[in-house]
Amino acid sequence: MVSYWKHYHTPETVEEAIAALRGYDGRARVIGGGTDLLVETRRGLRRPFEAIVDASRIAGLNTIERDPQHIVIGCGVTHTQIVNDPNIQRHGACLSESCGVIGGPQVRNAGTLAGNVAHALPAGDGSIGLLALAGEVEITSTAGRRWVAAKDTFVGPGKSVIDRHREVLTRLRFKPTGTGEGSAFHRVMRPQGLCLPIISMAARLTVDGDRIVAANVSMGPVGPVPWFAEPVAQALIGGPATDAQYEKAVDVALSNVTLRTSKYRATEEYRRTMVRTYLPIILATAAERAGAKR
Amino acid sequence: MSRLKMTVNGVAIDIDVPESRYLSEVLREDLRLTGTKIGCAEAECGICTVLVDGIAVVSCVFPAFKAQGARVETIEGLSNNGRLHALQQAFLDHGAVQCGICTPGLIMTAKGLLDTKNAAGEAVTENDIRTALKDSYCRCTGYQSVINAVLQASGEEVAPYIPETGTPGTAVGKPRPNPNACPMPGYFQSTPRLRSASTACTQC
Ligand SMILES: Cc1cc2nc3c(=O)[nH]c(=O)nc-3n(C[C@H](O)[C@H](O)[C@H](O)COP(=O)(O)OP(=O)(O)OC[C@H]3O[C@@H](n4cnc5c(N)ncnc54)[C@H](O)[C@@H]3O)c2cc1C
Ligand code: FES
Ligand code: FES
Domains along the sequence of chain A with CATH:
5-57 (3.30.43.10), 64-174 (3.30.465.10), 181-290 (3.30.390.50)
* d(C-alpha A124, C-alpha A113), whole Å: 10
Q: Tell me, in angstroms, the distance from the centre of ligand 2 to residue B124's CA.
A: 25
pLDDT, tens digit, 9 for 90 and up, residues B18-50: 999 999 999 999 999 999 999 999 999 999 999
- CATH number belonging to the domain at B1-77, selected among 3.30.300.30, 3.10.20.30, 3.10.290.20, 1.10.1040.10: 3.10.20.30
**A263 band by pLDDT with thresholds 50, 70 and 90:** confident
Q: Residue A107: what pLDDT?
A: 96
Ligand 2 neighbour B101 (Cβ under 6 A) = no
Q: Residue B198: what pLDDT?
A: 46
Nearest CA to B11 among B68, B101, B72? B72
Tell me how many degrees the CA angle A159-B40-A41 measures, rounded to the nearest 5: 30
* d(C-alpha B200, C-alpha B204), whole Å: 6
**B187 band by pLDDT with thresholds 50, 70 and 90:** low
Residue A155 Cα, gap to closest chain B Cα (Å): 27
User: What is the arithmetic mean of pLDDT over A157-171?
Assistant: 97
* d(C-alpha A220, C-alpha A201), whole Å: 7
**A43 band by pLDDT with thresholds 50, 70 and 90:** confident
Ligand 3 neighbour B102 (Cβ under 6 A) = yes
**A293 band by pLDDT with thresholds 50, 70 and 90:** confident
* Contact check, Cβ <8 Å, B63/A39: no
Nearest CA to A265 among A131, A123, A129, A154? A123
* Contact check, Cβ <8 Å, A7/B19: yes
| Mean confidence (pLDDT) of chain B | 88
* d(C-alpha A15, C-alpha A60), whole Å: 13
B192 has a pLDDT exceeding 60: no
Sign of the Cα torsion A83, A87, A88, A89 reads positive
**Range scoring the smallest mean pLDDT among A94-98, A144-148, A194-198, B4-8:** A194-198
Nearest CA to B23 among A59, A50, A33? A33
Ligand nearest to the CA of B98: 3
Q: Tell me, in angstroms, the distance from the centre of ligand 3 to residue B98's CA.
A: 5
**Superfamily of B79-159 according to CATH:** [2Fe-2S]-binding domain (1.10.150.120)
B178 has a pLDDT exceeding 80: no
Q: What percent of chain A has pLDDT over 70?
A: 98
* d(C-alpha B204, C-alpha B192), whole Å: 10
DSSP reduced 3-state for A174: strand
Q: Tell me, in angstroms, the distance from the centre of ligand 1 to residue A33's CA.
A: 7
Residue B134 Cα, gap to closest chain A Cα (Å): 6
* d(C-alpha A96, C-alpha A85), whole Å: 8
Nearest CA to B21 among A259, A6, A270? A6
* d(C-alpha B161, C-alpha B182), whole Å: 36
pLDDT, tens digit, 9 for 90 and up, residues A71-111: 999 999 999 999 999 999 999 999 999 999 999 999 999 99
pLDDT, tens digit, 9 for 90 and up, residues B91-141: 999 999 999 999 999 999 999 999 999 999 999 999 999 999 999 999 999
Q: Tell me, in angstroms, the distance from the centre of ligand 1 to residue A112's CA.
A: 6
B residues 35..64 contacting A (CB < 8 A): 41-44, 46, 49, 55-58, 61-63
* Contact check, Cβ <8 Å, A107/B41: no
User: What is the arithmetic mean of pLDDT over B177-193?
Assistant: 59
Torsion of CA B40, A40, A268, A275, to 10 degrees: 90
| Mean confidence (pLDDT) of chain A | 95
Q: Tell me the one-letter amino acid at B97.
A: V
**A190 band by pLDDT with thresholds 50, 70 and 90:** confident
* d(C-alpha B3, C-alpha B137), whole Å: 34
Tell me how many degrees the CA angle A237-A238-A240 measures, rounded to the nearest 5: 100
Tell me how many degrees the CA angle A134-A137-A141 measures, rounded to the nearest 5: 160
Sign of the Cα torsion A52, A57, A62, A68 reads negative
Helix (H) or strand (E) holding A115: helix A113-119
Mutate to test the interface with A, among B38, B49, B57 (most CBs of A within 10 A): B57
Nearest CA to A140 among A110, A114, A122? A114
Q: Residue B197: what pLDDT?
A: 42
Q: Residue B186: what pLDDT?
A: 56
Q: What percent of chain B has pLDDT over 90?
A: 76
Closest chain B CA to residue A42: B42
Instruction: State which of B22, B34, B45 you would mutate to test the pocket of ligand 2, scoring each by most atoms of that ligand within 8 A of its C-beta.
Output: B45
**A258 band by pLDDT with thresholds 50, 70 and 90:** confident
* d(C-alpha A109, C-alpha B170), whole Å: 50
Q: Which residues of B63-80 are buried (b: 16+ CB within 10 A; e: fewer)?
A: bbbbbbebebbbbbbbee
Ligand 1 neighbour A35 (Cβ under 6 A) = yes
The predicted complex's ipTM stands at 0.92
Domain spans of chain B? 1-77, 79-159
* d(C-alpha B59, C-alpha A240), whole Å: 50
Q: Is A75 exposed, middle or buried (0-12, 13-18, 19+ CB in 10 A)?
A: buried
Nearest CA to B44 among B28, B32, B60, B67? B60
Q: Tell me, in angstroms, the distance from the centre of ligand 1 to residue A36's CA.
A: 4
Say if strands A136-141 and A168-174 run parallel, antiparallel, or are unpaired.
antiparallel
Q: Where in chain B does DSSP place strands (E)?
A: 2-8, 11-17, 49-52, 55-58, 71-73
Q: Which residues contact A208 (CB under 8 A, 6 or more apart)?
A: A180
* Contact check, Cβ <8 Å, A105/B55: no
SS3 content of chain B, % helix, strand, coil (to 5): 30, 15, 55
Mutate to test the interface with B, among A9, A106, A192 (most CBs of B within 10 A): A106
Ligand nearest to the CA of A105: 1
Q: Tell me the one-letter amino acid at B66.
A: K
Q: Which long-range contacts (CB under 8 A, 24 or more apart) does B77-86 make?
A: B77/B8, B77/B9, B77/B10, B78/B107, B78/B111, B85/B111, B86/B152, B86/B153
* Contact check, Cβ <8 Å, A106/B61: no
User: What is the arithmetic mean of pLDDT over B63-73?
Assistant: 98
* Contact check, Cβ <8 Å, A10/B56: no
pLDDT, tens digit, 9 for 90 and up, residues A107-163: 999 999 999 999 999 999 999 999 999 999 999 999 999 999 999 999 999 999 999
Ligand nearest to the CA of A189: 1
Q: Which of A8, A39, A105 sits opposite B63 (nearest CB)?
A: A8
Q: Which of A1, A39, A106 sits opposite B25 (nearest CB)?
A: A1
**Range scoring the smallest mean pLDDT among A149-158, A176-185, B167-176:** B167-176
Q: Residue B165: what pLDDT?
A: 65
